[in-house]
Amino acid sequence: MTECRLDDLVETIEGEEPRPPVSPPTQQRGRRGDPYAGGSVTINTVLMNASAPDSFAYPVNVPAGGSVALTESGGVRIADASGTAIGFLETPWAKDATGKDVPTYFEVAGNTVTQNVDLSDPTIQFPVVADPDMWAVIKAAAGCAAEIAGLALAGAKVLQVFLKADKIVKSLKKAIKFYNQLGGKMGKVIAALKKYVKNKSSLSKKQVDALEGLFRSGGTILLNAVGLGSCWALVTRDY
């Protein structure tokens, strides 16, 4: 098993391929992007031949009291002590030189995430690229909270905004059910969203499911209509 720190990988420039070393190793690593600036980090682990390691351990920096856990989709959710998601690893993927999928999956032990790659298929064409994508919700949460605060200061305009949002919801058949579960009023939806941003665990599972269902059904149209575009990425991510 090879250990690869998520915050201590070889840096590469966005859009560039990692520079080849003087003599080809069995493994190359690279990182692009900064999740804590609101984007994603792409960790390229390149397996050059069949003798390369087939499992890679990623120790995760978790705040005191925080947690690291597998999601139903096979990704990893990273949370702080309150249970609020601060980042996650998307479901891992790996492809060989022909673009064929190579089986891969995550395991979690404590604060360490291990990506396993199955190299047993003799038809695999090397190199194989294994790529766990890390995405952080910190900036999205901050942006969403700021937009909610701005909406609260909008005064009389809020009523017009809510009426517009109400019309949008009623035009989206899939969204109506979730809207009604949250109280059938945009003000109640915003109140639930505010709790979601501050501490998701303060909501019941039914409320969380309704909120996520509403925004997945209404998409960016609904949130942009009420000036909460940053909240869409936060609520609809799979973590």
Q: Give the residue numbers spanning the domain of 31.
A: 2-136
Low-confidence ranges of the chain (pLDDT < 50): 7-39, 239
Q: What is the reported pLDDT for 181? A: 93
Q: What is the reported pLDDT for 55? A: 92
Last residue of a domain, one of 136, 156, 185: 136
* Same domain flag for 76 and 164: no
* Same domain flag for 154 and 218: yes
Token readout for 120 is 């047993």
* Same domain flag for 22 and 127: yes
- Domain count across the chain: 2
CA dist 223 and 147 (Å) reads 10
* Same domain flag for 178 and 202: yes
Query: Taking all residues of the chain, what is their mean pLDDT, rounded to a whole number?
Result: 75
* Same domain flag for 167 and 201: yes
* Same domain flag for 18 and 96: yes
* Same domain flag for 30 and 125: yes
* Same domain flag for 71 and 177: no
Please state, in angstroms and as integers, the Cα–Cα distance from residue 161 to each residue in 17, 77, 187, 220, following that order. 46, 34, 10, 15
CA dist 187 and 165 (Å) reads 10
Last residue of a domain, one of 136, 162, 178: 136
Q: What is the reported pLDDT for 7? A: 44
Query: If you write DSSP's letter for every residue of 203-237 in order, what string do you get?
Result: S-HHHHHHHHHHHHHHHHHHHHHTT-HHHHHHHHS
* Same domain flag for 7 and 51: yes
Token readout for 164 is 């517009």
Last residue of a domain, one of 98, 118, 136: 136
> Each residue of 38-81: pLDDT tens digit?
445 556 688 999 999 999 888 888 888 889 999 888 888 888 78
* Same domain flag for 123 and 147: no
* Same domain flag for 123 and 8: yes
> Each residue of 82-104: pLDDT tens digit?
777 777 787 888 999 999 999 99
* Same domain flag for 48 and 146: no
CA dist 135 and 186 (Å) reads 29
Burial 103-139 (b: 16+ CB within 10 A, else e): ebebebeeeebbbbbebeeeebeebbbbbbbbbbbbb
